[in-house]
Structure 1
Amino acid sequence: MELIDWLWILHPALAVVVIYPLMGMTVYLGRQTRHRRVDRARLPATVAHDHRHLGKWLATGMVIVVLVAITVSIVTKSFWSDPGQQLLRAASLLLVLAGTVVALLVLWRVQQRWQRILFALLTWAGVLGLGAQPEVWRVSDDPGTFAFWTSHYWTGMGLVALTLFSMAVSPETARRLAWRQVHMTAGVVAAILFLVQGISGSKDLLEIPLNWQKPAIYQCDFSARRCPGAEQAITPTTVLDPVG
């Protein structure tokens, strides 16, 4: 594997090592929080605080992992292979990336609800803006197709939106039942999207060849599922009879 290949597996590695364990712990603490509140279970009073705190880290981790994937796609497909790319575009993309990170950091600090929702939207808008670049593979941008709803890109964007929303309204869930119900609904949808992400991400890993394999792989006809020279490779070799 070359350096570019290691960069491409950075996103799935972070998802497996960081995101999914965080998601599991957040769900577990969320169930304990509900169990303590509804069933009056004898659980530590800190479970609700731990649930909210890990939820914030999950949202932050989701944004970072998605930004890593988008950045690697743009850099390796354009600026890596063609250093002569426009400096203005590179500067603007870097500015959007920095602005997205700053909005995420501010989201951790602000206290009022409208401020939290505003910076959550700004963070998501930054992620969407970077993801809209032509180097980022999205399978389909048509919501009327099945490919759109099973796309690793779009389900990932949905997860980023849901986790940022949950982070923004987290203080409200401790005060009002309506916000808790909305939060639970968002959590159920997020759990389904995490399942879709695990399946679509594994599928994508099978479809992405190593960098040195791409010149040969991309000569194949993906619609017909044929590659140049495949017929000769599977043609049985005639074995001569040593007697005759």
Structure 2
Amino acid sequence: MAGVDWLWILHPFLAVVLVYPLVGVVVRLAVQTRARRLQKQNLPVTVGRDHSDLGRWLAAAVVMVVLIALSVVIGTKVPVAEFQGGLGRAIQLLLVLVGTIVSLLALWRCKRPGLRLAFSLITWAGVLGLGAQPEVWRLSDNPLTPAFWQSHYWAGVGVTGLMLFSLGARAEILRDIRMRRMHVTANVLAALLFLTQGLTGTRDLLEIPLGWQKSTIYACDFHAKTCPSLDPNAQP
């Protein structure tokens, strides 16, 4: 494997060793927090705080892992000399990436509700903006087609938005029962999306060839499921 191939598996590697273990811990703490609130179990008073704190780390980890994936795809899809838009577009995309990370850091630290809402939306907009680039492969952009709902990209964007909602509304979730219920609903959906991400991510990994294989693999007709013969003298 070449260096660029290792970069392409960085996203699934981080998801497996960082994001999904955090998901398991946060879900477990969420169940314990609810059980303690309903006085069904005698649990330590720290479970709620631990759930909230680790939830923040989970949200930040999800955003960063997605940004890493988008950056690698955009930056390595084609050789530098063939990069569409040249240096000007590369600088613009780099500024979007840096701005998204800065917005995430600001969201992590700021206290005012209006600023938290603004930075949540800015961070998500940055993810969407990078994801809209032509280098990023998406099964479909039409929500009326089945392929859209099978897309690893769109499910990832959706779960990122849900994580940013939980991060941005953390203070309100702690003190408002309506926001808490919305938080529970959003994160049940997020848990389902994480499950589908595990499936669609594995599927997509099987479809990504190594760098030295791409010229041959991409010459195939994926609809007809045929590939050109490597031997010009071979009989059809």
**Structure 1, gaps ≥5 residues long:** 236-244
Which stretch shifts more, 221-230 or 194-203?
Answer: 221-230
Which stretch shifts more, 45-54 or 74-83?
Answer: 74-83
1:116 is displaced (CA, Å) by 1.1
Residue in 2 that maps onto 1:238: none
1:84 is displaced (CA, Å) by 8.5
Q: Which SS does the other structure have where 2:23 is aligned?
A: helix
Residue in 2 that maps onto 1:194: 194
Query: Residues 71-150 of structure 1: matches in 2 within 5 Å?
Result: 71-78=71-78, 80=80, 82=82, 86-150=86-150
1:80 is displaced (CA, Å) by 3.3
* d(CA) in 2 for partners of 1:129, 1:189: 23
C-alpha RMSD of the superposition: 1.9
Which stretch shifts more, 73-82 or 190-199?
Answer: 73-82
Amino acid at match of 1:61: A
Residues 92 and 227 of structure 1: CA distance in aligned 2, closer, same or farther (over 3 Å): same
* d(CA) in 2 for partners of 1:26, 1:53: 9
TM-score (ref. length: structure 2): 0.94
Residue in 2 that maps onto 1:239: none
Which stretch shifts more, 82-91 or 204-213?
Answer: 82-91
* d(CA) in 1 for partners of 2:219, 2:74: 22
* d(CA) in 2 for partners of 1:81, 1:20: 37
Amino acid at match of 2:138: R
Which stretch shifts more, 81-90 or 138-147?
Answer: 81-90
Query: Residues 45-84 of structure 1: matches in 2 within 5 Å?
Result: 45-78=45-78, 80=80, 82=82
Amino acid at match of 2:8: W
Residue in 2 that maps onto 1:33: 33
Residue in 2 that maps onto 1:227: 227
| Contact 1:138–1:153 (8 Å) recurs in 2 | yes
* d(CA) in 2 for partners of 1:141, 1:213: 27
| Contact 1:79–1:85 (8 Å) recurs in 2 | no
Residues 191-210 of structure 1 show CA distances to partners (whole Å, capped at 9, x for unaligned) of: 11011100000000100011
| Contact 2:139–2:150 (8 Å) recurs in 1 | no
Mapped pair 1:176 → 2:176: yes
Residues 165-198 of structure 1 show CA distances to partners (whole Å, capped at 9, x for unaligned) of: 0111112122121111100000110011011100
* d(CA) in 2 for partners of 1:230, 1:223: 19
Residues 109 and 2 of structure 1: CA distance in aligned 2, closer, same or farther (over 3 Å): same
- Which has more radius of gyration? 1
Identity %: 55
Residues 41-96 of structure 1 show CA distances to partners (whole Å, capped at 9, x for unaligned) of: 21111111111111111110111111111101111124535369522111111111
